Chain A
Amino acid sequence: MTEYFNEMFEGREVRPPYAGLDGWMREMPAQLRAMKQAEAEALFRRIGITFAVYGEGGDPDRLIPFDMFPRVFTQKEWRRLERGIKQRARALNAFLNDVYGRGEIVRAGRIPARLVYQNAAYERAVAGFVPPRGIYSHIVGVDLVRTGPDQFFVLEDNCRTPSGVSYMLENREIMMRMFPKLFRENRIEPVDGYPEALRRTLASVAPAKCESEPSIAILTPGHFNSAYYEHSFLADLMGVELVEGADLFVEGGFCWMRTTEGPKKLDVIYRRIDDAFLDPLCFRPDSMLGVPGLMDVYRSGGVTICSAPGAGVADDKAIYTFVPEMVRFYLGEEPLLENVPTWQCAKPDDLKYVLDHLPELVVKEVHGSGGYGMLVGPKATREQIETFRIKIEDNPHNYIAQPTLALSTTPTFVEEGVAPRHVDLRPYCLVGEKIELVPGGLTRVALTEGSLVVNSSQGGGVKDTWVLAE
């Protein structure tokens, strides 16, 4: 049987970061707990933070389950992660700058040309264009898992528009409201500086043509999008406009926002829509979500789009394997965070290994996300494995495989009391004039006993994530 690292207990001993939670957990009567849980749910409903789950039917405004038991890191643990994440964010941006420029990493033979230039996420339309400060991915969400006291692995990078940061902020807000005493007794690093840090980051990449205080907006596909709440929440906290494509137009080399007082020039757009929908004149001609002519304005330096169109080529699952190589190539450093060993089904030897070991592996689609279309070998039935085998054989290029990691657990409130459940972590790294992280992130928890899939679309929940001050 696999041994899982429990972040709170080492045998019967409580590990130091959780010392402040042991008494809290033991002293909480079941009745109070139920009351608090109901209170938390009511608070989430009131503020309207819900998450639509694709393809599952049911209530589209279903709450993402919130677990009140915090996940804790010491300052020392966090510092180490922070250094590793910043290093990765720098390398990913250097890679993007390179492959839309001279492509040195390809010329040097460190990454196969095909993987880059024939990648569906490689945007030919922005080759040769350098965005302000050479930054392509302004918000890098790095998904991490832990397998031991000092063992962390990067599961994937999210260079386009990683979502979930509103949960990081709301989880903290609600915990502080419900358990003020906990926050007096423990010295916890604040996360509420995130919106201002994000605003600063966006302002720092305003185009050179912008001569005054940059005007910023969040571009959303609209209220039917599953992350619409987050778009409006962030716009609100940053004090910037929330706009849809129809609110914007281009003229004279700039992008303008329609307002009741007439058109207002926009300098930076934090877009939460995919490249394909940004501009029907450049990408999908049938798209109604974007702004016709926006890419011409962008490429002539009239507006900055965050993340930069084309940033997705860096977070593709096939490119992922090469991120440690990017760290060495661009930064001349050794990677501080490890990758999960990955088999590329496109390679015949790897494919053979994967097909021979399906019951042990996790198999994912190269372009998939959200935990859809994946196989968790050890948890799958023989029938599910055989169905997946056919899918892989039909289109090996579409799949990668990784060993099933022994994800750490943290105590989680369950029906019967408190029990260990598997967790991951997504911190949000901001890349602008400075590279910064707020101390924290989104901890996702697999609420089903034994489950290793933490995605909210697959029944995962969220927790408040603490970084203890020294």
Chain B
Amino acid sequence: MILTVNHVTTYGYGEPMGTAVQSLRLFPSRFEGQRVIDWQVSVEGGVRGGAFRDGAGDRVEGWSIRPPVEEVAITVSGQVETFDTSGVLRGHRESVHPMAYLRETVATWIDDALADLGAEAVAGASDELDRAHRLSRAVAEAIAYRPGATHAHTTAAEALAQGEGVCQDHAHALIAAARSVDLPARYVSGYLFASEDGSPHEAAHAWAEIWVKPVGWIGFDPANRCCPDERYIRLGSGLDAREAAPVRGVTQGAGEERMKVTVALHEVQQ
């Protein structure tokens, strides 16, 4: 599948602000599931800073904008050819030890309910892959997809208690449940091409990856009850949504920040 992406993130402020600094993880991962045909990231009026590939294999780029800053607009446009690897992150170069992904964070804190969900889900599983699939299924059943039910800072435990949430909550809950049974897990941000079949979706998407021996990292998307396939574009990963965020930034000043995101994905007919 060849997908084109147009993604614009705009931060508006009520008043002129000081310097804005950003760390962007907006570049498609390099692995067998995707091949970049063309990809451009730009920040209006910004200066490109240090760029590097981190230990998790993500390309990171720093940007800064000199004051006064009234608006920050980050534009991503590109074309990626994708392939179905059944969720397996094959051919991805990274150097972080999987065990570093057993660490808990505030958003993925394991409370009793998450630990119970994890333990019950894996009971009777035949192997690690089976455990991972069962966990993903259990999370999908425990948290119904309902946009607006949660907010950016909702934790996995809160979402589970509430029984509803969005892809971020599904991913957090799956990560926490997996770690509770000693499976390393991480948060992945990216895009999902929405087909016409009516299943729940958001073009800017998030899912989880679980370290499954002996295969390696495998993606699981509880929100869509599947593993990532050729409709997915993977950008970056982290211990939770905050760490894996495609855009992390700080703008100096007291103005109130309003964020607007538009993402459009199209399939190029061949």
Among the listed B47, B64, B100, which residue makes an inter-chain contact with A124, where contact means beta carbons less than 8 Å apart?
B100
Q: In the complex, which residue of chain B has the Cβ closest to the Cβ of A296? A: B62
Provide the residues of chain A in CB contact with B60, threshold 8 Å.
296, 299
Check if B49 is an interface residue, CB within 8 A of chain A: yes
CA distance A299 to B50 in the complex (A): 8
Complex interface bits, A127-139 against B, C-beta within 8 A gives 1, otherwise 0: 1110000000000
Check if B55 is an interface residue, CB within 8 A of chain A: yes
A118 touches B49 (CB 8 A): no
Check if A371 is an interface residue, CB within 8 A of chain B: no
A292 touching B21 in the complex, CB below 8 Å, given contacts A118-B103, A301-B50: yes
B99 touches A252 (CB 8 A): no
B47 touches A252 (CB 8 A): yes
Task: Pick the interface stretch among A62-70, A279-287, A453-461.
Answer: A279-287
B96 touches A124 (CB 8 A): yes
Check if B92 is an interface residue, CB within 8 A of chain A: no
Q: In the complex, which residue of chain A has the Cβ closest to the Cβ of B93? A: A128
Check if B51 is an interface residue, CB within 8 A of chain A: yes
Check if B54 is an interface residue, CB within 8 A of chain A: yes
A118 touches B100 (CB 8 A): yes
B window 73-123: CB within 8 A of A:
94-97, 99-100, 102-103
A281 touches B21 (CB 8 A): yes
A124 touches B62 (CB 8 A): no
A296 touching B49 in the complex, CB below 8 Å, given contacts A281-B248, A281-B250: yes
Q: In the complex, which residue of chain A has the Cβ closest to the Cβ of B51? A: A300
Check if B213 is an interface residue, CB within 8 A of chain A: no
Provide the residues of chain A in CB contact with B51, threshold 8 Å.
253, 300
For residue A235, give the distance in angstroms from its CB to the closest CB of chain B: 25
CA distance A396 to B62 in the complex (A): 42
What total of A-B pairs shows CB separation below 8 Å?
A: 105
Interface size on B, residues (CB 8 A): 31
CA distance A100 to B97 in the complex (A): 9
Check if B19 is an interface residue, CB within 8 A of chain A: yes
Check if A21 is an interface residue, CB within 8 A of chain B: no
Among the listed B48, B50, B55, B250, which residue makes an inter-chain contact with A127, where contact means beta carbons less than 8 Å apart?
B55
B21 touches A117 (CB 8 A): no
Q: In the complex, which residue of chain B has the Cβ closest to the Cβ of A122? A: B100
For residue A136, give the distance in angstroms from its CB to the closest CB of chain B: 14
Check if B175 is an interface residue, CB within 8 A of chain A: no
B97 touches A117 (CB 8 A): yes
Check if A302 is an interface residue, CB within 8 A of chain B: yes
CA distance A128 to B99 in the complex (A): 15
Check if A438 is an interface residue, CB within 8 A of chain B: no
B100 touches A299 (CB 8 A): no
Q: In the complex, which residue of chain B has the Cβ closest to the Cβ of A299? A: B52
Check if A249 is an interface residue, CB within 8 A of chain B: yes
B window 214-270: CB within 8 A of A:
239, 242, 248-250
Known: A113-B97, A249-B64. 12 other contacts (CB 8 A): A102-B95, A103-B97, A113-B99, A116-B97, A118-B100, A127-B96, A128-B96, A129-B55, A292-B250, A295-B23, A297-B50, A299-B52
B interface residues with partner A (beta carbon < 8 Å): 19, 21-23, 47-52, 54-56, 60-62, 64, 66, 94-97, 99-100, 102-103, 239, 242, 248-250
Identify the 9 closest CB pairs spanning chains A and B, nearest first.
A300-B50, A127-B55, A128-B55, A296-B62, A117-B99, A128-B95, A253-B50, A293-B21, A292-B250
